[in-house]
């Protein structure tokens, strides 16, 4: 059996380095996971918001625009699933020829809520306005 070339005073000296390396790897995996989830959530929310703005702008002739907008927002909330609880969608109509939706989403935090003021990924605060289509 080969003997170690370390002296008795160096026993266990690799433990601290190994523990720090494992902590760095775990932290990196956690950061990558949060960034990935944040970007996925932002993409999902933006996609649903654009679809909702398009549906609102395509109000059929003879339909009540306010009721159609509320119906479109309700469909968007169903499409978002559990994410809908943290997304705010508000129909907007700046003039008779334009319609859309304002979307707000807080994003995904990169640090636990215990550490207030941390960075977030995927936050959105935007108004999407499209030209109304006249469907006859």
Q: What average pLDDT does the structure give for the chain?
A: 85
Confidence check: pLDDT of 37 > 60: yes
Q: Note whether 105 and 41 are within 8 A (CB).
A: yes
Q: What pLDDT score does 91 carry?
A: 93
Q: What pLDDT score does 29 carry?
A: 92
Q: Enter the pTM of the model.
A: 0.76
> Is residue 48 packed enough to be buried (19+ CB in 10 Å), middle (13-18) or exposed (0-12)?
buried
Confidence check: pLDDT of 49 > 90: yes
Q: What pLDDT score does 129 carry?
A: 93
Q: What pLDDT score does 74 carry?
A: 95
Residue with tokens 């909702």: 52
What are phi and psi for residue 73, nearest 5 degrees? Answer: -65, -40
- Alpha carbon distance 7, 72 (integer Å): 73
Q: What pLDDT score does 79 carry?
A: 94
Structure confidence at residue 61 as a pLDDT band (50, 70, 90): confident
């Amino acid at each position: 059996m080969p003997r170690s070339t370390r002296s008795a005073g160096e026993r266990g000296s690799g433990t601290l380095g190994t523990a720090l390396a494992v902590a760095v790897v775990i932290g990196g995996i956690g950061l990558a996971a949060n960034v990935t989830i944040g970007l996925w959530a932002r993409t999902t929310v933006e996609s649903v918001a654009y679809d909702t703005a398009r549906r609102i702008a395509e109000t059929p002739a003879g339909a009540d625009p306010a009721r159609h907008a509320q119906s479109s927002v309700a469909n968007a909330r169903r499409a978002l699933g559990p994410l809908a609880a943290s997304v705010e969608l508000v129909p907007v109509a700046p003039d008779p020829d334009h319609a859309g939706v304002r979307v707000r989403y807080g994003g995904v935090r990169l640090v636990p809520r215990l550490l207030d003021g941390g960075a977030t990924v995927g936050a959105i605060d935007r108004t999407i306005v499209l030209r109304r289509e006249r469907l006859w």
